[in-house]
Structure 1
Amino acid sequence: MLKLQIPKNRINALARYLRDHFTVERLDGGWEDFHKRRVEDAELKHGIEIHALVRETKAHEVILNLEAIDKSECSCSDGDHCKHIAAVVFALFAPHGRPELLLQQLKQAIHVRTRQQQSKQQTNARAAEKRQDRLDPPTPDQPPGYWQRFFDQQFYGFSLNQQQSIELFHSAAKESLRPYGKSWERPLRELYALHLIVFIMRKIEQFYMDTKTSYLSYYIETGCKAVARQCHEDMQQLIPEMDIAGIAKKYPAYWKETLAMIAEAALTGKDSPLSWSTVYRGLWWRMADEREWLREERARLQKLLTASDLPARRKDALVLAEAHFTLMEEGDGAARERMDRLVRREPRDFFMYLHACYQEEAWERMLAWLRWLLPVMQKAQQEDLRQFCHYWIEAVQRQTNDAEWVHVMVALLPRTYTFYTTYLMKAGRYRAWIDLQLANRVSPLNLYSPDLQTVENHDPALVLPLYHQAVERCIAEKNRTAYQNAMRLLKKLNALYKKLERPAVWEEYIYRLAVKYSRLRALQEELRKGKWIP
């Protein structure tokens, strides 16, 4: 008898064969036969076959074909994948490792495979059920809830598999679903367009929630936010054009269902890349003349707010919604008093009011909102801060004095650096612009050249401190590259002093610089190369 130890790659192939074709019961039976030493007389024949006996009440001959494992056979009557073949494989594995660990690995892999097969069967069954229950295309006679179910069915099973999938879904949904309502009368056509955007928003939120723990979560979240912005822009264009009064009068059931659907998303306070609250308040804002509708909805919100166990986020959503009805009936001041009860004030929730002020050119009203928002802007996201600054720029242009604007920009530094420096340049406040660069220790090498040239043309003396500071900072880095940058700055400084006709001041400065850093050999070499010192 040959003491067998077949190559590792052959053993791995046999293990995969057990994993892919055997049941857990057959593996357990093979393990028992191996463990009880029933595998005998294993030998290699013809270079590619293992012949062995498995002795139970009777002997069973097993032939393993190493070249074509699926052609292996056993003399028993249990079929192709019997426990005797498994027993021989465990015996062949023994010289390479612990067969009991192999058994556990195989059983775990089989359990995973079984679960995957069951899940696939269930998915296929659901898909077949969906196919059997296909909905007809939406018609004006069907309520909005039916439209949403049809939309869901058309994109059933859509999943994210690449970074661009969200954008692809957005464009595919608009292209494939928009034509169904194109020929309807105007009120229903507009309502259908609204529901199409709501469907896309719902799916974006679903993608966002389903992938929050995925390794692709950052890319998916970025895509969700990009499409969410597009949806909000679409809403801003659609809602002002809608004949909401006509829809509410002619199709009250449809409109009530629509408002309820959006309220359900807006009043939960859940984490979302979408501002459902903005959509909710925007629609109700357009219903300012529908007094009965407003009264009922406000009463509903007030009743919801009386609950004692409201989570903070849900309570904030309800307070914000109820304060909006206060704004419509009592004005901005009363609304802000109610909004002061918010646990967390998100700037994006109030931009709709700033936008309304901008459209109406109500600059004093806009400033009141901006002042109210100011305390929370230091911790706001950069995109929110950007919008906040743009609105304030619009308002300050209509004021006789920009002192308040400057105070705000300084208070929010360094996050407002870009806005503040741009404003100072446009306003011709060059000394303040230079002071800002000095305070932020910005090198002239990193500034926008036309801006720097503009200040220099106005008064070359203004830029001198900027270059002096930059030279000192380069030298403080103490490396050859920084010293070379310092030489570039010194060359410009020399030109400025010549332009100002102050050669004596320049000579004094360069002498003192060389003496101050006389121990920095590399710097001294660069000064000599530039012929600044002998």
Structure 2
Amino acid sequence: MLKLQIPKNRINELIGHLRDTFDPARLERGWAYYHKGQVAELELKHGVEVHALVRGTKRYEVILDLDQFGKSECSCPDGDNCKHMAAVAFALYAPFGRPELLLQHLKQAIAVRSRQQAKQTAVSKAAEKRQDRFEPPAPDQTPAQWQKFFDQQFYGFSLNQQQSIELFYSAVKEKLLPYGEGWEQPLRGLYSLHVLFFVMRKIEQFYQETKTSYLSYYIETGCRTVGRQCLEELLRLVPRLDVALLAEKASAPWKETLGLLAEAALSGKESPLSWSTVYRSVWWRMTSYPAWVAEERARLRLMLESPDLMPRRRDALLLAEAHFDVIEGDDDAARQKLEALSKREARDYFLYLHRCYEEKAWDRMLAWLRWLLPVVQRAQQEELRQFCQYWMEAVQQQTDDGEWVSVMIALLPRTYHFYTAYLMKAQRYKAWIDLQLSNRVSPLDLYSLDLQAVEKHDPSLMLPLFHQAVERCIAEKNRTAYKNAVRLLKKLHTLYKKVNRSNDWEDFIYRLAMKYSRLRALQEELRKGKWIP
């Protein structure tokens, strides 16, 4: 290969042109041409022009102008800054160093430049976004404008740790709520409602975006936790809203709010939030405005007539339509409509149970509880707990608790804690002992105060419980279990003495020692306890 050595300053200028005007792909191809020896007839003319031939699919003539690189030419059809020019440049660099190292240096420099340009572009776009920011929320703006401002304030917020949902919730309240603090009612309350709507909307977004993330479990748990907090806060806020003022003096933003709420609650999409509960709570406040209610019911009926509704959306619409029957006091009509649901969830009806509890409408509450019983059997434990608490409140108003007891028995073992607490409270000690026996609960795992209450009432009731526990400990066949058996035997001996059955005790302990005579460790523990010689 012909070598032509040009001044060092010219080479440095040439490297600068390669870095600033060539893309990495063409530099790679140019180096490949040089490396394969396809650059020939290098010649310097007029002191500033390098002429060469490069063999590709054809022979191409290349002229590099060292004074004004932009005037360089190649006879190929690729246009400016082609791979053939790069090949000639690498050939000129060869006397000064290794062209392959120059190629790596150029590629790194181009990559750095690209990152810097991308960063500058991002900064420019961010600056443009800042210029386009919405004005802070004001009472004369629409709720949609408030929501757009909220979105801008938290644009780009991402989840990067398990507590991010909680941190987001706190940040939103701290940053957004102060904007509405000086407003007059009822818009101040409406603005607070929309801040909570925004949090719920973002929770849904985080939930959907991170479903396939390795943190999905923690994020879903956080979403549900914060979702419950938002729901509780909303249910406290809604009764304080001055609906009369909203409907009369701020009807436009209030109607827009109802529309936004309906859009979220009636979509039927999967969500960690109970939008339906918020929707029904708000419309329960609108009973004094029959025209508004009639318009909403007509809209629901029209949507339900659509033939291509997905099951989840149809369920959401049915739940909303039945709610207006509940508002009118016609629970039977509501439940008849709800029978058409493809899937019933117990949590959707706690709103009605709580309303009945507040109004002390016990018969109405019992009707809902009976209707919910098949659903509660497959409900989550937290939902079952709420169901049992409401039924315990209702049963206290009844002359007979037989129905409630049968329900608790039907739902065992999930209702064990509720049922055992009720039996103790009702002083049904025999039934309480039977429950512990059927669940194979050891006296060592029961509250001492409960055991004392049963013993005070009738010590003989305790005998089967301790006998069962002793046998179960021995069946474990280990030293620790044998020691627990001896502890239980000590208490059992006391119980036998209290009921004046010492002879029965002696017979029992003798038979026990004989039955398990082959268990050496148990025999040792019995001797330590001085039960056998």
CA drift at 1:204: 1.5
Q: Alpha-carbon deviations, 1:442-495, whole Å to 9, x = none?
A: 111111222122212222111111111111111111222221211111121112
Contact 1:26 1:86 in 2 (8 A): no
| Amino acid corresponding to residue 489 of structure 2 in structure 1 | L
What is the match of residue 390 of structure 2?
391
> Whole-Å Cα distance in 1 between the matches of residues 385 and 192 of structure 2?
30
Contact 1:27 1:86 in 2 (8 A): no
Structure 2 CA distance for partners of 1:231 and 1:87, relative to 1, 3 Å:
closer
> Whole-Å Cα distance in 1 between the matches of residues 377 and 513 of structure 2?
44
In the alignment, structure 1 residue 361 sits paired with structure 2 residue 377: no
Q: Alpha-carbon deviations, 1:123-142, whole Å to 9, x = none?
A: 65653332121111111111
> Whole-Å Cα distance in 1 between the matches of residues 431 and 321 of structure 2?
44
> Whole-Å Cα distance in 2 between the matches of residues 116 and 453 of structure 1?
76
CA drift at 1:338: 0.4
1:84 maps to which of 88, 100, 113: 100
| Amino acid corresponding to residue 373 of structure 1 in structure 2 | L
Contact 2:27 2:103 in 1 (8 A): no
| Amino acid corresponding to residue 335 of structure 1 in structure 2 | A
What is the match of residue 214 of structure 1?
213
> Whole-Å Cα distance in 2 between the matches of residues 305 and 122 of structure 1?
49
> Whole-Å Cα distance in 2 between the matches of residues 381 and 123 of structure 1?
47
Structure 2 CA distance for partners of 1:343 and 1:77, relative to 1, 3 Å:
same
Question: Residue 379 of structure 2: SS of its match in structure 1?
Answer: coil
In the alignment, structure 1 residue 513 sits paired with structure 2 residue 529: no
> Whole-Å Cα distance in 2 between the matches of residues 150 and 237 of structure 1?
25
Structure 2 CA distance for partners of 1:379 and 1:131, relative to 1, 3 Å:
same
> Whole-Å Cα distance in 2 between the matches of residues 341 and 32 of structure 1?
75
Counterparts of residues 102-251 of structure 1 (less than 5 Å): 126-251=125-250
> Whole-Å Cα distance in 2 between the matches of residues 505 and 194 of structure 1?
71
In the alignment, structure 1 residue 262 sits paired with structure 2 residue 278: no
| Mean CA deviation greater in 132-141 or 314-323 | 132-141
Structure 2 CA distance for partners of 1:400 and 1:26, relative to 1, 3 Å:
farther
| Amino acid corresponding to residue 280 of structure 2 in structure 1 | R
Question: Residue 273 of structure 2: SS of its match in structure 1?
Answer: coil
Counterparts of residues 395-434 of structure 1 (less than 5 Å): 395-434=394-433
| Amino acid corresponding to residue 136 of structure 1 in structure 2 | E
What is the match of residue 310 of structure 1?
309
> Whole-Å Cα distance in 2 between the matches of residues 126 and 88 of structure 1?
32
In the alignment, structure 1 residue 494 sits paired with structure 2 residue 493: yes
Runs (4 or more) in structure 1 with deviation over 4 Å come to 22-34, 80-83, 86-89, 113-126
| Amino acid corresponding to residue 214 of structure 1 in structure 2 | S
> Whole-Å Cα distance in 2 between the matches of residues 159 and 82 of structure 1?
46
Contact 1:138 1:150 in 2 (8 A): yes
| Amino acid corresponding to residue 142 of structure 2 in structure 1 | P
Question: Residue 186 of structure 1: SS of its match in structure 2?
Answer: coil
What is the match of residue 72 of structure 2?
none
In the alignment, structure 1 residue 471 sits paired with structure 2 residue 473: no
In the alignment, structure 1 residue 450 sits paired with structure 2 residue 449: yes
Contact 1:208 1:220 in 2 (8 A): yes
In the alignment, structure 1 residue 345 sits paired with structure 2 residue 344: yes
> Whole-Å Cα distance in 1 between the matches of residues 144 and 97 of structure 2?
53
| Mean CA deviation greater in 523-532 or 399-408 | 523-532
| Amino acid corresponding to residue 212 of structure 1 in structure 2 | K
Contact 1:262 1:280 in 2 (8 A): yes
Contact 1:443 1:466 in 2 (8 A): yes
> Whole-Å Cα distance in 2 between the matches of residues 425 and 81 of structure 1?
94
> Whole-Å Cα distance in 1 between the matches of residues 523 and 217 of structure 2?
50
| Amino acid corresponding to residue 307 of structure 1 in structure 2 | S
CA drift at 1:501: 2.5
Where does the alignment leave 5 or more consecutive residues of structure 1 unmatched? 1-21, 39-55, 58-73, 90-105
| Amino acid corresponding to residue 393 of structure 2 in structure 1 | E
What is the match of residue 290 of structure 1?
289
> Whole-Å Cα distance in 2 between the matches of residues 312 and 32 of structure 1?
65
Contact 2:470 2:489 in 1 (8 A): yes
What is the match of residue 79 of structure 2?
none
Contact 2:265 2:279 in 1 (8 A): yes
> Whole-Å Cα distance in 2 between the matches of residues 326 and 337 of structure 1?
10
What is the match of residue 324 of structure 1?
323
Contact 1:424 1:433 in 2 (8 A): yes
Structure 2 CA distance for partners of 1:377 and 1:519, relative to 1, 3 Å:
same
| Mean CA deviation greater in 291-300 or 24-33 | 24-33
> Whole-Å Cα distance in 2 between the matches of residues 81 and 263 of structure 1?
72
Q: Alpha-carbon deviations, 1:187-233, whole Å to 9, x = none?
A: 11111111111111111221222222222222222222221111111
CA drift at 1:289: 1.9
Structure 2 CA distance for partners of 1:308 and 1:87, relative to 1, 3 Å:
same
Contact 2:34 2:91 in 1 (8 A): no
> Whole-Å Cα distance in 1 between the matches of residues 98 and 252 of structure 2?
66
Question: Residue 186 of structure 2: SS of its match in structure 1?
Answer: helix
| Amino acid corresponding to residue 446 of structure 1 in structure 2 | D
> Whole-Å Cα distance in 2 between the matches of residues 351 and 116 of structure 1?
55
Q: Alpha-carbon deviations, 1:285-320, whole Å to 9, x = none?
A: 111121111111111111111111211111100110
Structure 2 CA distance for partners of 1:235 and 1:115, relative to 1, 3 Å:
farther
Structure 1 length normalisation: TM-score?
A: 0.79
> Whole-Å Cα distance in 1 between the matches of residues 402 and 323 of structure 2?
31
Q: Alpha-carbon deviations, 1:366-391, whole Å to 9, x = none?
A: 00000000011111011111111111
Structure 2 CA distance for partners of 1:442 and 1:197, relative to 1, 3 Å:
same
Matched-pair identity in %: 65
> Whole-Å Cα distance in 2 between the matches of residues 410 and 377 of structure 1?
14
> Whole-Å Cα distance in 2 between the matches of residues 396 and 276 of structure 1?
31
| Amino acid corresponding to residue 300 of structure 1 in structure 2 | R
Contact 2:482 2:525 in 1 (8 A): yes
Structure 2 length normalisation: TM-score?
A: 0.80
| Mean CA deviation greater in 334-343 or 177-186 | 177-186
Contact 1:30 1:86 in 2 (8 A): no
Contact 1:30 1:85 in 2 (8 A): no
> Whole-Å Cα distance in 1 between the matches of residues 163 and 526 of structure 2?
54
CA drift at 1:86: 8.7
Contact 1:354 1:369 in 2 (8 A): yes
Compare CA radii of gyration and give the structure with the larger one.
2
Backbone CA RMSD of aligned residues: 3.1
The size of the alignment, in residue pairs, is 459
Contact 1:33 1:87 in 2 (8 A): no
Q: Alpha-carbon deviations, 1:93-146, whole Å to 9, x = none?
A: xxxxxxxxxxxxx99xx99x9999999777656533321211111111111111
Where does the alignment leave 5 or more consecutive residues of structure 2 unmatched? 1-22, 39-53, 56-89
> Whole-Å Cα distance in 1 between the matches of residues 113 and 342 of structure 2?
49
In the alignment, structure 1 residue 280 sits paired with structure 2 residue 279: yes
